[in-house]
Amino acid sequence: MQRVVGRASIRFHDLATRIHARAFSSAASGAFESFGPRSVLQPPVRLDGERWISIGGDVFIGGGSYLQVLYGDTAHGRLEIGAGTSMTGNCVLSAAGSVRLGTKVLLARNVYIADHRHRFEDVGVPILDQGVEQVEPVVIGDGAWLGQNVVVGPGVTIGEGAVIGANSVVLHDVPAYSVAVGAPARVMRTFAAGTGVTA
């Protein structure tokens, strides 16, 4: 009997969590440049510059994530998340220029993607106050999968259907339908789209 009550309690908690996430998403959706149908932001989610963030339909953004567009008086970045994309949670997407995720991209926990890096050379100024540099667009292709703790740096394009292994640091382009691992990430193999044939 105790096990049955425990399962019912878990199901009720899951249902309450989903209802809360839907309500939060509905309330927050108007703040974005666009927010597609059936997309969900699971609280807590941190947002900065959301008026320059576009989210497609059927997107899931897990709790603990941070979506950020840097902006000033005259310039701002852009962040686009394609339809069907799923971010498990605790992910950071930061755009000073342009970060674009295609459709049905899968991000595991703790993925960090930024199209810029912090300046740090001036030892008399805290890094937080030095601004950013090396602002170069980042593109994650349709259907790509980024494993847990992956870091993607400025100027990187990850091709359609590519797989990035857990804990990898991606500083250079990864071709479509390739598997890349390591820090820095290196392409280990490539497979032909839809065939399973490896090279």
pTM of the model: 0.89
pLDDT band at residue 26 under the 50/70/90 scheme: confident
pLDDT-wise least confident of 2-6, 57-61, 153-157: 2-6
Catalytic residues, which ones? 118
pLDDT band at residue 1 under the 50/70/90 scheme: low
Q: Is residue 199 part of a domain?
A: no
Q: Is residue 98 part of a domain?
A: yes
Q: Is residue 198 part of a domain?
A: no
Q: Is residue 25 part of a domain?
A: yes
Q: Is residue 159 part of a domain?
A: yes
Q: Is residue 183 part of a domain?
A: yes
Mean pLDDT computed over every residue of the chain: 91
pLDDT for 192 beyond 80: no
pLDDT-wise least confident of 8-22, 83-97, 135-149, 155-169: 8-22
Q: Is residue 143 part of a domain?
A: yes
Supply the pLDDT for residue 27: 87
Which pairs from 77-82 meet CB under 8 Å and 24+ separation? Answer: 77/49, 77/52, 77/115, 78/52, 78/53, 78/54, 79/49, 79/52, 79/53, 79/54, 80/53, 80/54, 81/53, 81/54, 81/55, 81/56, 81/105, 82/56, 82/142
Q: Provide the number of structural domains found in the chain.
A: 1
State percent of the chain over pLDDT 90: 78
Burial class for 59, CB neighbours closer than 10 Å (0-12, 13-18, 19+): buried
pLDDT for 64 beyond 80: yes
* Tens of pLDDT, residues 159-174: 999 999 999 999 999 9
Supply the pLDDT for residue 99: 98
Supply the pLDDT for residue 2: 55
Q: Is residue 195 part of a domain?
A: no
Supply the pLDDT for residue 21: 84
- Domain limits for position 74: 2-190
CATH number, domain containing residue 72 = 2.160.10.10
